[in-house]
Amino acid sequence: MSIRLLKAVLMKIGFWALVALLVCYAVFPFYYAVITSLKPSSALFQIDYWINHVDLSNYAAVLSQSSFVQSIWNSILVAFCVVGISLTLGLTAAYALGRVRFRGRGAVLMIVLGVSMFPQVAVLSGLFEVIRTLNLYNTPWGLVLSYTIFTLPFTVWILTTFMRQLPGELEEAAIMDGATPWVTLVHVFMPLMWPAMATTGLLAFIAAWNEFLFALTFTLTDSQRTVPVGIALISGGSQYELPWGMIMAASVIVTVPLVVLVIIFQRRIVSGLTAGAVKG
């Protein structure tokens, strides 16, 4: 009996050690970025595992760069516009795909799924041409347009999945009353779709906030960049003396909103990710 007890205790210790290890592995790099960002440049090259300094000079330095502040605004603008467009187009498409049975529905779903698998670089030259033709090169609007290539497919996909689960009686009543499909969508379904829209909106926001390849290729000047590009291009006197303190401060600034969003909305994000992927 005592051996069994010992075994149970050991199992428990082992389990908690594993949990601690996983949490450390997941959190440590970000924690280390925070520590580094709080160091004065004199202490940058000594290695600390704990917060020994609270020095905000790196943050002050980053935020005094007008191009970095501008890139934050650009990122916010782009991300919100992408979310708005994706949700609007995604919701109407999801109504059609989720509630109406018609020829070609399977084909449209296939197209949407296919686009979500596109490698971004495969459309790079063509999209560059489209953006230049529309006079959107080196503007946030070019990025808004190009980001729909990856946000729209999963928005449509997840919203369609949610739309299908709503009971049919609701719509039946609306149709009996002679409501048009548009009225049905706006007044019957939209109020019920808010949770799903919040989920997909969050995922689209994160995807747009983090995108790099298009942002790097379709913008040229400092004032039009988004934060990932801004951070990637922070440089010092030479390749070997990067201002790590500033880079880490900038990283923390752009990541904290996301980490907060994830912690607050983790259930929603998890359900969105699994709905999108398990179904698609």
Partner 1 sequence: MSFAAKSRPTEPGAYNQPAPRGRSTRVRRQRVRAAWLFLTPMLIVLALVAGWPLLRTFWFSVTDATLNSMEGANFIGFENYLIHDAGGWYGLLADPEWWNAVWNTLYFTGVSVGLESVLGIIVALVLNAEFRGRTLVRAAILIPWAIPTIVSAKIWAWMLNDQFGILNHLFMTLGLIDAPLAWTADASLSMWAVIMVDVWKATPFVALLVLAALQMLPSDCYEAAKVDGISPLKVFFRVTLPLIMPALLVAIIFRALDALRVFDVIYVLTSNSSSTMTMSVYARQQLVEFQDVGYGSAASTLLFLIIALVSIAYLYLGRRQLGGDT
Which 38-77 residues touch partner 1, going by CB under 8 A? Answer: 44-45, 47, 49
Pair 261, 139: CB distance under 8 Å: no
Q: Name the minimum Å distance from CB 278 to partner 1.
A: 5
Per-position x/- string for 244-273, each x denoting binding to partner 1 as judged by CB under 8 A, each - no binding: x--xx--x--xx--xx-xxx--xxxxxxxx
Q: Is 13 in the site for partner 1 (CB under 8 A)?
A: no
Per CB under 8 A, the list member of 10, 56, 60, 100 interacting with partner 1 is: 100
Per-position x/- string for 205-224, each x denoting binding to partner 1 as judged by CB under 8 A, each - no binding: -x--xx-xx--xx-------
Q: Is 4 in the site for partner 1 (CB under 8 A)?
A: no
Q: Identify the CA nearest to 230 among candidates 65, 12, 35, 86.
A: 65
Q: Is 167 in the site for partner 1 (CB under 8 A)?
A: yes
DSSP state of 237: S
Per CB under 8 A, the list member of 69, 72, 77, 123 interacting with partner 1 is: 123
Q: What angle do CA 54, 60, 62 make, to 5 degrees?
A: 115
In the numeric block, which tokens belong to residue 279? 């179904």
Pair 226, 67: CB distance under 8 Å: no
DSSP state of 114: H
Shorter beta-carbon distance to partner 1: residue 69 or 149: 149
Q: Name the minimum Å distance from CB 108 to partner 1.
A: 6
Span near partner 1 by CB under 8 A; candidates 2-10, 51-59, 66-74, 110-118: 110-118
Shorter beta-carbon distance to partner 1: residue 69 or 123: 123
Distances (CA, A) of 42 to 47, 57, 122, 148, 226: 12, 11, 45, 44, 30
Q: Is 105 in the site for partner 1 (CB under 8 A)?
A: yes
**How many Å separate Cα 22 from the centre of its chain?**
23
Q: Is 191 in the site for partner 1 (CB under 8 A)?
A: no
Per CB under 8 A, the list member of 125, 191, 221, 237 interacting with partner 1 is: 125
DSSP state of 134: T
Q: Identify the CA nearest to 152 among candidates 97, 113, 191.
A: 113
